[in-house]
């Protein structure tokens, strides 16, 4: 890792000294310009008011103004998105409109329209990201398999056929040292071949004792304009991270704050979890005619996830509840490897039939996802109901004092590949789909959207824990329809309604080795959109008010049927519903003032009785979904001005997250919280910017998400970062 960091810094320095990177042909300062003419799959050519669904665009300017560094922080800006259990800080996990997907996998996201966010690559850094789109509502008719609440699409930084760039250096709280670079140039005299090199290194301690992270990411890309009508773009994604497995803090009898948030409950002797991503993405765009475009693409992504972890036990094996301070843990080794291939081809265009105008998006895609998992686990025996701490062999329980931890005192249990094997399986999911969407202008004001997608998928699961290996297979096909309508009240405001159905393929199998039937969902939404300039001449921006309802069935729950009583098995029998209201405003006011406002009310609950999938506790109809607050609000305001010929920008933001359930089928809740951030930056010269960010300005203690009452992630105390940027 250290050698890689040094190589990154040297490469950035060398590239910035290359004439093509540092200067344009006339030796003038270069302002980075984004190419906005390129299409993205599944999107079509529609104005904001014409799309019958709510969405939010977290663009580069907003990312800069808020100072967010990773995907989870960026998604905090959308009140529709709620943080979920992030697997000890090792991946991004979120719920959109209440639904989060498989809690044992990272939340999937799109990259430039590709279903390319699968795998165990660690939390996503925002370096290399131009924009984060939160696409709400039913999307299965185009995107295919996914969550009913919506999708997140990351738009990457690609060559803009400009010359220039910037290098950033950051020093922050807990000895954070971070370097970023974004450099680009053209390789030919006709400006037809553009290259861009984006990357970062980040080495930081944290407010958690012994917890340190090391991360490196390199994202080069090349774009080639073959002709006026044809272009191609290739992007490489390489990320390497070393992160400790950090399950956070524990509560004591439902009470938070007993354990100091600084105390780490893992074992430093376990070392880090090492993750790596190597991804490739190739896109070719060809203009067939004035109104018709062909877009084809290929994506490859390999991820690895390896390392040991000591994690708190749950109730039956937890010594903490005997004396209030002695935590027992189990030990696991994980070796995960994923390979993902996705291909797609899409045509879009416009034509007329009589008095009707049609805009068509139609295409086909294929993906193959291999998920190879090996887990070794040691955990102590269950504690007898009448036992005392003195009666237990505490060496077997890998104990830690949560109030005064002494790391290394408990022996690290050696894991045996034979006796401690907990999982050894290879799952291969393959699917292809075809889709079409037609948005028809019935009149100048009324548009109807009709869409549908047919998916054919299969899954093979090899359970290598059995002798011989047990293999199970599943194949199925589904049709996902969508209908919508938009009424343009005037040039600025529209009202819309939409309905769609979808599904998500589930992993693993039931007690008999049979793969699960997929999740099924139904989503509906109505709303109003407006361009704010239609109401205020001096204001630009957009606002959306939406109301939605989402139903999901075949949620995995504990299988308590007699035929499944020999083990802890699951079955797809749960049902849930989410209803809510959202108000989103993104505006620029007079006086160079930017305002971002996002509010959501979400009522997400189970709609039938079932035992919980993790602990077998009783879920009752009306119980809330985990980690989903009823009320969430995100606000950001910034203002630019000039003082003594020096450009200055200042701003502040606030995030409010309401009370939410912290463990399914329990009465354990995480408290509501409000955090405030602030920043100030100035440009002492045209090439240099100095910036100060302060997060959690008032140093509030808060908790962002949890899986159970002994796996709770605390938020960071007040944190400051000073960043210097040099532009070329």
The CATH number of the domain holding residue 525 is 2.40.170.20
- 427 C-beta neighbours (distance < 10 Å), count: 20
pLDDT, residue 253, reads 87
CB neighbour list of residue 605: distance below 8 Å, 6 or more residues apart: 576, 577, 578, 621, 622, 623, 624, 625
* C-alpha distances out from residue 667 to 329, 421, 626, 664, Å: 23, 33, 11, 8
- 12 C-beta neighbours (distance < 10 Å), count: 22
pLDDT in tens, 113-148: 887 778 898 999 999 999 999 999 887 667 776 788
Q: What count of residues does the chain have? A: 728
175 vs 528: CA distance, rounded Å: 47
pLDDT in tens, 584-616: 999 999 999 999 999 999 999 999 999 999 988
Match 């007898």 to its residue by tokens.
384
DSSP 417-472: TTTTEEEEEEEEEEEEEEEEEEEEESSSSEEEEEEEEEEEEEEEEEETTSSS-EEE
CB neighbour list of residue 10: distance below 8 Å, 6 or more residues apart: none
What b/e sequence results for 34-49 when a residue is b if at least 16 CB atoms lie within 10 Å of its CB, and e otherwise? eeeebbbbbbbeeeeb
pLDDT, residue 144, reads 72
The answer to which of 51-65, 514-528, 539-553 has the lowest mean pLDDT is 514-528
Counted domains in the chain:
1
- Could you tell me the sign of the dihedral formed by the alpha carbons of 99, 104, 105, 106, in that order? positive
DSSP 2-39: HHHHHHHHHHHHHHHHSHHHH--TT-------------
First to last CA, the chain: 28
Asked whether residue 476 carries a pLDDT value surpassing 80, the answer given is yes
Q: Quote the tokens at residue 466.
A: 């059995």
Match 């009424």 to its residue by tokens.
487
Cis peptide before 468 (omega within 30 of 0): yes
Q: Quote the tokens at residue 709.
A: 């009452």
Read off the pLDDT band of 537 (50, 70, 90): confident
Residue of 1 and 154 predicted with greater confidence:
154
Average pLDDT, the chain: 91
- 442 C-beta neighbours (distance < 10 Å), count: 13
Asked whether residue 395 carries a pLDDT value surpassing 60, the answer given is yes
656 — phi, psi (to 5°)?
-115, 130
Angle at 346 between CA 345 and CA 348, to 5 degrees: 160
Three-state DSSP state, 553: strand
pLDDT in tens, 694-724: 999 999 999 999 999 999 999 999 999 999 9
Q: For the residues 44-52, what does the mean pLDDT come to?
A: 87
231 vs 225: CA distance, rounded Å: 4
Q: Which domain holds residue 346?
A: 2-727
Asked whether residue 29 carries a pLDDT value surpassing 60, the answer given is no
- Backbone Cα Rg of the chain: 26
Match 């109505």 to its residue by tokens.
526
Q: For the residues 18-36, what does the mean pLDDT come to?
A: 43
DSSP 355-416: TEEEEEEEEEEEEEEEEEEEEEEE-PPPPPTT--GGGS-GGGGT-EESSS--TT-S--PPPP
Asked whether residue 427 carries a pLDDT value surpassing 50, the answer given is yes
584 vs 542: CA distance, rounded Å: 8
pLDDT, residue 33, reads 38
């Amino acid at each position: 890792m250290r050698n890689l960091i040094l190589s990154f810094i040297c490469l950035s320095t060398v590239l910035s000294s290359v004439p093509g990177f540092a200067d344009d042909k006339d030796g003038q300062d270069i302002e980075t310009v984004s190419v906005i003419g390129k299409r993205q799959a599944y999107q079509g050519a529609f104005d904001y008011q014409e799309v019958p669904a709510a969405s939010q665009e977290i663009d580069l300017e907003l990312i800069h103004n808020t100072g967010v560094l990773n995907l989870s922080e960026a998604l905090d800006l959308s009140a529709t998105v709620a943080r979920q259990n992030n697997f000890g800080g090792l991946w991004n996990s979120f719920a959109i409109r209440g639904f989060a997907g498989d809690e044992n996998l990272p939340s999937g996201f799109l990259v430039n329209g590709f279903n390319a966010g699968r795998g165990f690559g660690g939390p996503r850094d925002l370096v290399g990201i131009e924009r984060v789109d939160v696409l709400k509502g039913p999307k299965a008719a185009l995107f295919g398999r996914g969550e009913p609440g919506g999708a997140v699409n990351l738009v990457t930084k690609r060559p803009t056929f400009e010359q220039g760039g910037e290098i950033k250096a950051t020093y922050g709280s807990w000895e954070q040292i971070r370097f970023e670079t974004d450099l680009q140039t053209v390789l030919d005299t006709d400006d037809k071949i553009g290259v861009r090199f984006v990357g970062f290194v980040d080495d930081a301690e944290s407010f958690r004792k012994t917890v340190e992270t090391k991360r490196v990411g390199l994202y080069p890309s090349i774009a080639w304009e073959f002709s006026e009508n044809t272009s191609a773009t290739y992007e490489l994604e390489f990320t390497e991270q070393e992160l400790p497995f950090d399950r956070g803090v524990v509560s004591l009898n439902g009470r938070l704050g007993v354990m100091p948030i600084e105390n780490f409950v893992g074992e430093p002797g376990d070392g880090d979890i090492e993750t790596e991503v190597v991804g490739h993405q190739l896109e070719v765009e060809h203009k067939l005619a004035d109104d018709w475009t062909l877009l084809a693409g290929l994506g490859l992504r390999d991820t690895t996830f390896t390392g040991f972890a000591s994690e708190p036990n749950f109730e039956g094996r937890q010594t903490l509840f005997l004396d209030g301070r002695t935590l027992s843990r189990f030990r696991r080794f994980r070796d995960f490897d994923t390979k993902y291939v996705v291909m797609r081809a899409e045509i879009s265009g416009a034509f007329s039939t009589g008095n009707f105008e049609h805009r068509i998006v139609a295409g086909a895609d294929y993906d193959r996802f291999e998920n190879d998992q090996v887990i070794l686990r040691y955990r102590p025996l269950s504690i007898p109901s009448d036992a005392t701490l003195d009666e237990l062999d505490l060496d077997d329980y890998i104990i830690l004092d949560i109030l005064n931890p002494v790391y290394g005192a408990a022996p690290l249990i050696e894991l045996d590949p034979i006796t401690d094997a907990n999982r050894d399986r290879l799952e291969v999911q393959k699917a292809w789909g075809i889709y079409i969407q037609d948005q028809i202008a019935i009149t100048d004001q009324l548009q109807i959207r009709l869409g549908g997608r047919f998916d054919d998928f299969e899954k093979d699961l090899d359970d290598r824990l059995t002798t011989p290996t047990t293999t199970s297979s599943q194949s199925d096909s589904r049709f996902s329809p969508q209908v919508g309508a938009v009424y343009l009240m005037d040039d600025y405001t529209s009202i819309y309604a939409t309905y769609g159905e979808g599904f998500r393929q589930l992993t693993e199998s039931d007690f008999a080795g049979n793969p699960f039937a997929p999740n099924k969902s139904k989503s509906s939404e109505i709303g109003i959109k407006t361009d704010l300039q239609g109401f205020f001449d001096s204001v630009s921006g957009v606002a959306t008010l939406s109301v939605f309802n989402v139903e999901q069935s075949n949620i995995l729950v504990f299988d308590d049927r007699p035929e499944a009583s020999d083990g802890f098995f699951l079955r797809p029998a749960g049902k849930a519903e989410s209803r809510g209201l959202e108000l989103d405003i993104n505006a620029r006011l007079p006086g160079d003032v930017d305002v971002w406002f996002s509010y959501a009310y979400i009522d997400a609950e189970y709609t039938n009785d079932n035992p919980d999938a993790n602990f077998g506790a009783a879920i009752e109809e009306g119980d809330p979904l985990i980690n989903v607050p009823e009320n969430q609000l995100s606000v950001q305001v910034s203002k630019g001005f000039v003082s003594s010929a020096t450009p200055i920008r200042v701003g502040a933001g606030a995030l409010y997250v309401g009370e939410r359930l912290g463990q399914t089928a329990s009465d354990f809740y995480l408290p509501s919280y409000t955090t405030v951030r602030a920043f100030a930056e100035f440009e002492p010269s045209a090439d240099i910017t100095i910036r100060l960010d302060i997060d959690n300005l008032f140093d509030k203690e808060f908790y962002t998400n949890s899986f159970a009452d002994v796996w709770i992630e605390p938020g960071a105390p007040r944190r400051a970062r000073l960043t210097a940027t040099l532009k070329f």
